[in-house]
Amino acid sequence: MKKIGSFILTVAFVFMTFISAFSENNVGIRDESIRGRGFSDSGRSELQYVNLIGYVVISTEQEYTLRKTDKFEDKKLWTIPTYKKDKQFWNTVDGITLPHKTEVIVREQELSHIGWGNYKGYLLVERLDNSEQYYINVMNFVTKPYWDYYDDLRTAAITGYLIGMYHQKSDYYPIDNGGEKATIDDGKIVLITGIAGHSRSVDPSTNGIDAVVWQNWRYGYGGVTIHFNQEDLTIIY
């Protein structure tokens, strides 16, 4: 009887281990080292996003729109279109969008190589909060919740756009492209767009975070890019 009982316990243990492994695999994997957005992480290797957990985020095209409006805080601008396939074409679904930062798992991918390790196409993603499925453009998918990178603003700014708040804390004032001091109101809300490095007058080690600031400037289409020390900006969205 003891041998039978031991055997039953062993079988039960193996079964539960199998179920646990299957459940974990079914839930998906997290790997923030994968860039997303259709960019290969190793040369020109084919992308494998299926079963990967990530986030639906605004695309480069949407970022371009945000930096040209002082309404960048409007959450309606931070929504992602969904798609449906019509033979070889993909059309947006009217009235169905996903909020920026929606957590998903990739269930299917239809991607094609467009050169130099870049891919275009669409992903079937499933929301983790309600299991609903949608097709999105691969350019709207990343693996990093970069809006939570409060202590690594540089990596966050490289990954995607954010809304930040300015408070002078560091020993370095914000500066413009010419390296001149920019007087920014304390508590000013800004659009963080990337990292510095294009101007000879800006030292990335002291003023390495780029942000569009709408204050007293109206140069044509938008605000002015100012370079901040990362200690002086706090991520708020």
Can you count the helices (H) and strands (E) in the chain?
3, 13
Rounded Cα distance, 58 and 74, in Å: 13
pLDDT higher than threshold 60 for residue 21: no
Contact 209, 195 (CB under 8 A): yes
pTM of this prediction? 0.85
pLDDT tens sequence across 33-49: 999 999 987 766 789 99
Domain ranges (residues) in the chain: 29-144, 150-235
Taken as a whole, the chain contains a residue count of 237
Residue 12 has pLDDT above 90, yes or no: no
- Spatial distance between the Cα atoms of 210 and 158, rounded to a whole number of angstroms: 10
- Binned at pLDDT 50, 70 and 90, residue 221 comes out as low
- Whose tokens are 């002086």? That residue is 232
pLDDT digits (tens, 9 = 90+) for 197-220: 877 889 999 999 999 999 766 555
Q: What average pLDDT is seen over the chain? A: 88
User: Rounded distance, CA 201 to CA 182, Å?
Assistant: 13
Question: Is pLDDT at 222 greater than 90 in this prediction?
Answer: no
Asked if 234 and 167 touch (Cβ cutoff 8 Å), the reply is yes
Answer whether residue 110 shows pLDDT above 70.
yes
Question: Cα 217 vs. chain centroid, distance in angstroms?
Answer: 29
Residue 120 has pLDDT above 90, yes or no: yes
Percent of the chain with pLDDT over 90: 78
In one letter, which amino acid is 152? D
18: confidence class by pLDDT, cuts 50, 70, 90 = very low
Is residue 1 pLDDT above 90, yes or no?
Answer: no
Tell me which of 4-8, 42-46, 83-87, 226-230 is least confident: 4-8
- Which residues in 23-117 belong to E strands, given as ranges? 29-30, 52-56, 79-86, 89-99, 102-115
